[in-house]
Amino acid sequence: MTDRLEFTILVVISIGGWWLFEFYNAPRFWKSDLELWWHYHNLEPNPYLRRAGYDWAFGTIFPLMFLTAEFFREMIFRGSERGPKVKLSRPVLGVLIVLGVVGAIVPIVYPSTWFAPIVWLALILLIDPINALRGWPSITEDLARGDWRRLLSLLASGLFCGILWEFFNFWALSKWTYTVPFFGDIKIFEMPVLGFLGFPPFAVECWAMYIFVRSLLQPRARGKESGEIFLRT
Protein backbone atom coordinates (compact mmCIF):
# COMPACT_ATOMS: atom_id res chain seq x y z
CA MET A 1 0.00 0.00 0.00
CA THR A 2 3.02 2.30 0.02
CA ASP A 3 2.88 2.28 -3.79
CA ARG A 4 -0.65 3.40 -4.64
CA LEU A 5 -0.07 3.43 -8.40
CA GLU A 6 1.21 -0.15 -8.38
CA PHE A 7 -1.75 -1.20 -6.26
CA THR A 8 -4.15 0.44 -8.72
CA ILE A 9 -2.48 -1.36 -11.63
CA LEU A 10 -2.74 -4.61 -9.72
CA VAL A 11 -6.47 -4.08 -9.10
CA VAL A 12 -7.12 -3.34 -12.78
CA ILE A 13 -5.20 -6.45 -13.86
CA SER A 14 -7.13 -8.46 -11.28
CA ILE A 15 -10.46 -7.30 -12.72
CA GLY A 16 -9.39 -8.08 -16.28
CA GLY A 17 -7.89 -11.42 -15.28
CA TRP A 18 -11.07 -12.65 -13.63
CA TRP A 19 -13.25 -11.49 -16.52
CA LEU A 20 -11.06 -13.76 -18.66
CA PHE A 21 -11.98 -16.68 -16.39
CA GLU A 22 -15.63 -15.63 -16.57
CA PHE A 23 -15.33 -15.96 -20.34
CA TYR A 24 -13.98 -19.49 -19.91
CA ASN A 25 -16.90 -20.25 -17.60
CA ALA A 26 -19.43 -19.02 -20.18
CA PRO A 27 -17.68 -19.06 -23.58
CA ARG A 28 -21.01 -18.84 -25.38
CA PHE A 29 -22.02 -15.89 -23.25
CA TRP A 30 -25.10 -15.09 -25.33
CA LYS A 31 -26.69 -18.25 -23.90
CA SER A 32 -27.42 -17.73 -20.22
CA ASP A 33 -27.73 -21.47 -19.59
CA LEU A 34 -24.17 -22.26 -20.64
CA GLU A 35 -22.30 -21.37 -17.46
CA LEU A 36 -20.08 -24.39 -17.10
CA TRP A 37 -18.59 -24.50 -13.62
CA TRP A 38 -19.91 -21.76 -11.34
CA HIS A 39 -23.32 -20.08 -11.25
CA TYR A 40 -24.34 -16.83 -9.53
CA HIS A 41 -27.57 -16.48 -7.54
CA ASN A 42 -29.62 -13.59 -6.10
CA LEU A 43 -27.69 -10.86 -7.86
CA GLU A 44 -28.50 -7.15 -8.02
CA PRO A 45 -31.13 -6.73 -10.78
CA ASN A 46 -29.78 -3.37 -11.98
CA PRO A 47 -27.14 -4.27 -14.61
CA TYR A 48 -24.97 -1.21 -13.88
CA LEU A 49 -24.89 -1.81 -10.14
CA ARG A 50 -24.34 -5.50 -10.76
CA ARG A 51 -21.35 -4.74 -12.99
CA ALA A 52 -19.94 -2.40 -10.35
CA GLY A 53 -20.33 -5.18 -7.80
CA TYR A 54 -18.58 -7.64 -10.10
CA ASP A 55 -15.62 -5.34 -10.66
CA TRP A 56 -15.34 -4.43 -6.97
CA ALA A 57 -15.20 -8.12 -6.05
CA PHE A 58 -12.90 -9.13 -8.92
CA GLY A 59 -10.48 -6.33 -8.03
CA THR A 60 -9.79 -7.90 -4.65
CA ILE A 61 -8.67 -11.32 -5.95
CA PHE A 62 -5.06 -10.72 -6.99
CA PRO A 63 -4.20 -8.31 -4.13
CA LEU A 64 -5.57 -10.70 -1.52
CA MET A 65 -3.66 -13.70 -2.83
CA PHE A 66 -0.37 -11.85 -3.37
CA LEU A 67 -0.38 -10.14 0.03
CA THR A 68 -1.26 -13.44 1.70
CA ALA A 69 1.57 -15.08 -0.24
CA GLU A 70 3.98 -12.45 1.06
CA PHE A 71 2.85 -13.26 4.59
CA PHE A 72 3.45 -17.00 4.06
CA ARG A 73 6.81 -16.28 2.48
CA GLU A 74 8.04 -14.25 5.45
CA MET A 75 6.51 -16.38 8.19
CA ILE A 76 6.74 -19.96 6.92
CA PHE A 77 8.88 -20.38 3.79
CA ARG A 78 11.84 -18.10 4.53
CA GLY A 79 14.24 -21.06 4.50
CA SER A 80 13.08 -22.47 1.16
CA GLU A 81 15.52 -20.52 -1.03
CA ARG A 82 18.08 -23.33 -0.96
CA GLY A 83 16.03 -26.20 -2.30
CA PRO A 84 16.73 -28.60 -5.16
CA LYS A 85 17.34 -26.91 -8.50
CA VAL A 86 15.03 -27.70 -11.39
CA LYS A 87 16.44 -26.32 -14.63
CA LEU A 88 14.43 -26.58 -17.83
CA SER A 89 16.07 -26.24 -21.24
CA ARG A 90 14.72 -23.83 -23.84
CA PRO A 91 13.26 -26.70 -25.93
CA VAL A 92 11.39 -27.95 -22.87
CA LEU A 93 10.09 -24.45 -22.21
CA GLY A 94 8.93 -24.33 -25.82
CA VAL A 95 7.01 -27.57 -25.37
CA LEU A 96 5.38 -26.21 -22.21
CA ILE A 97 4.32 -23.07 -24.06
CA VAL A 98 2.76 -25.14 -26.86
CA LEU A 99 0.90 -27.25 -24.30
CA GLY A 100 -0.29 -24.06 -22.66
CA VAL A 101 -1.57 -22.69 -25.96
CA VAL A 102 -3.48 -25.89 -26.65
CA GLY A 103 -4.88 -25.92 -23.11
CA ALA A 104 -5.96 -22.30 -23.38
CA ILE A 105 -7.77 -22.82 -26.70
CA VAL A 106 -9.48 -26.19 -26.27
CA PRO A 107 -11.92 -25.18 -23.45
CA ILE A 108 -13.14 -22.27 -25.60
CA VAL A 109 -13.52 -24.22 -28.84
CA TYR A 110 -15.02 -27.27 -27.10
CA PRO A 111 -16.74 -26.08 -23.89
CA SER A 112 -17.09 -28.87 -21.35
CA THR A 113 -17.51 -29.18 -17.61
CA TRP A 114 -14.64 -31.69 -17.69
CA PHE A 115 -12.09 -29.06 -18.74
CA ALA A 116 -11.95 -27.05 -15.50
CA PRO A 117 -8.52 -28.47 -14.50
CA ILE A 118 -7.12 -27.44 -17.89
CA VAL A 119 -8.16 -23.81 -17.36
CA TRP A 120 -6.36 -23.63 -13.99
CA LEU A 121 -3.14 -25.06 -15.42
CA ALA A 122 -2.90 -23.98 -19.07
CA LEU A 123 -2.01 -20.34 -18.47
CA ILE A 124 0.79 -21.35 -16.09
CA LEU A 125 2.35 -23.53 -18.79
CA LEU A 126 1.85 -20.78 -21.36
CA ILE A 127 2.79 -17.60 -19.52
CA ASP A 128 5.40 -18.48 -16.89
CA PRO A 129 7.95 -19.84 -19.42
CA ILE A 130 7.36 -16.74 -21.55
CA ASN A 131 8.08 -14.55 -18.53
CA ALA A 132 11.30 -16.50 -17.92
CA LEU A 133 12.45 -16.25 -21.54
CA ARG A 134 11.78 -12.51 -21.51
CA GLY A 135 13.86 -12.02 -18.37
CA TRP A 136 11.00 -11.30 -16.00
CA PRO A 137 10.36 -12.94 -12.62
CA SER A 138 9.01 -16.45 -13.03
CA ILE A 139 8.55 -19.69 -11.17
CA THR A 140 10.66 -21.29 -13.89
CA GLU A 141 13.64 -19.10 -13.05
CA ASP A 142 13.06 -19.44 -9.30
CA LEU A 143 13.27 -23.24 -9.45
CA ALA A 144 16.34 -23.07 -11.69
CA ARG A 145 18.06 -21.25 -8.79
CA GLY A 146 16.64 -23.67 -6.23
CA ASP A 147 14.42 -20.96 -4.74
CA TRP A 148 11.04 -22.48 -3.87
CA ARG A 149 9.78 -19.63 -1.68
CA ARG A 150 7.54 -17.94 -4.23
CA LEU A 151 5.97 -21.15 -5.54
CA LEU A 152 5.23 -22.56 -2.08
CA SER A 153 3.93 -19.21 -0.83
CA LEU A 154 1.58 -18.79 -3.79
CA LEU A 155 0.30 -22.37 -3.53
CA ALA A 156 -0.40 -21.94 0.19
CA SER A 157 -2.00 -18.56 -0.40
CA GLY A 158 -4.31 -19.92 -3.08
CA LEU A 159 -5.58 -22.68 -0.81
CA PHE A 160 -5.95 -20.38 2.20
CA CYS A 161 -7.80 -17.68 0.26
CA GLY A 162 -9.96 -20.28 -1.47
CA ILE A 163 -11.11 -21.63 1.89
CA LEU A 164 -11.91 -18.08 3.04
CA TRP A 165 -13.87 -17.32 -0.14
CA GLU A 166 -15.89 -20.50 0.14
CA PHE A 167 -16.53 -19.93 3.84
CA PHE A 168 -17.93 -16.44 3.25
CA ASN A 169 -19.80 -17.54 0.14
CA PHE A 170 -21.62 -20.30 2.02
CA TRP A 171 -23.34 -17.80 4.33
CA ALA A 172 -23.97 -15.08 1.72
CA LEU A 173 -27.34 -14.15 0.22
CA SER A 174 -25.81 -13.36 -3.19
CA LYS A 175 -23.60 -16.35 -3.83
CA TRP A 176 -22.25 -18.84 -6.32
CA THR A 177 -22.65 -22.59 -6.63
CA TYR A 178 -20.77 -25.14 -8.72
CA THR A 179 -21.30 -27.80 -11.31
CA VAL A 180 -18.52 -30.39 -11.17
CA PRO A 181 -18.86 -33.70 -13.04
CA PHE A 182 -16.71 -35.70 -10.60
CA PHE A 183 -17.68 -36.11 -6.91
CA GLY A 184 -19.83 -33.00 -7.21
CA ASP A 185 -22.04 -33.99 -4.27
CA ILE A 186 -19.16 -34.22 -1.78
CA LYS A 187 -18.81 -30.62 -0.65
CA ILE A 188 -17.10 -28.37 1.84
CA PHE A 189 -19.33 -25.29 1.98
CA GLU A 190 -20.61 -24.87 -1.62
CA MET A 191 -17.41 -26.17 -3.22
CA PRO A 192 -17.15 -29.83 -4.27
CA VAL A 193 -14.18 -31.16 -2.33
CA LEU A 194 -11.99 -31.80 -5.38
CA GLY A 195 -12.51 -28.21 -6.44
CA PHE A 196 -10.23 -27.03 -3.63
CA LEU A 197 -7.33 -28.56 -5.57
CA GLY A 198 -7.77 -25.78 -8.13
CA PHE A 199 -7.06 -22.91 -5.72
CA PRO A 200 -3.28 -23.44 -5.29
CA PRO A 201 -2.43 -23.45 -9.03
CA PHE A 202 -4.94 -20.63 -9.52
CA ALA A 203 -2.75 -18.37 -7.39
CA VAL A 204 0.34 -19.25 -9.43
CA GLU A 205 -1.57 -18.66 -12.64
CA CYS A 206 -2.78 -15.24 -11.50
CA TRP A 207 0.74 -14.22 -10.48
CA ALA A 208 2.15 -15.25 -13.88
CA MET A 209 -0.62 -13.28 -15.60
CA TYR A 210 0.14 -10.22 -13.47
CA ILE A 211 3.86 -10.35 -14.25
CA PHE A 212 3.21 -10.71 -17.97
CA VAL A 213 0.72 -7.85 -18.20
CA ARG A 214 2.86 -5.71 -15.91
CA SER A 215 5.88 -6.34 -18.12
CA LEU A 216 4.02 -4.85 -21.08
CA LEU A 217 3.78 -1.56 -19.17
CA GLN A 218 7.49 -1.45 -18.38
CA PRO A 219 10.33 -1.96 -20.87
CA ARG A 220 12.71 -3.91 -18.65
CA ALA A 221 12.60 -6.08 -15.54
CA ARG A 222 13.82 -4.32 -12.43
CA GLY A 223 14.97 -5.17 -8.93
CA LYS A 224 16.07 -8.72 -9.75
CA GLU A 225 17.80 -9.15 -6.38
CA SER A 226 15.02 -7.85 -4.16
CA GLY A 227 12.70 -10.03 -2.10
CA GLU A 228 9.29 -8.76 -3.09
CA ILE A 229 6.83 -11.29 -4.42
CA PHE A 230 5.28 -9.08 -7.12
CA LEU A 231 7.72 -7.77 -9.71
CA ARG A 232 10.96 -8.80 -8.13
CA THR A 233 12.69 -12.00 -7.24
Residue 13 falls within a domain, yes or no? yes
Considering the domain boundaries, does residue 118 fall inside one? no
Residue 102 lies in a domain: no
Q: Would 129 be classed as within a structural domain?
A: no
Domain coverage including residue 26: 4-82+147-216
Per DSSP, the residues of 134-171 read TTS--HHHHHHTT--HHHHHHHHHHHHHHHHHHHHHHH
Residue 108 lies in a domain: no
Q: Tell me, yes or no, whether 161 lies in a domain.
A: yes
Question: What would the pLDDT profile of 112-170 be if each residue is shown by its tens digit?
Answer: 888 888 999 999 999 999 999 999 999 999 999 999 999 999 999 999 999 999 999 99
Task: Give the start-end residues of each E strand in the chain.
Answer: 38-41, 175-178, 187-188, 191-192
85: DSSP letter:
-
Overall domain count for the chain: 1
186 belongs to a structural domain: yes
59-112 per-position pLDDT tens digit: 999 999 999 999 999 888 877 677 789 999 999 999 999 999 999 999 988 888
> Under a CB-based contact definition with an 8 Å cutoff, are residues 121 and 106 in contact?
no
Query: Per-residue pLDDT tens for 54-69?
Result: 999 999 999 999 999 9
Residue 12 neighbours by CB distance under 10 Å: 14
Whether 96 and 172 have beta carbons less than 8 Å apart is answered as no
Determine the length of the chain.
233
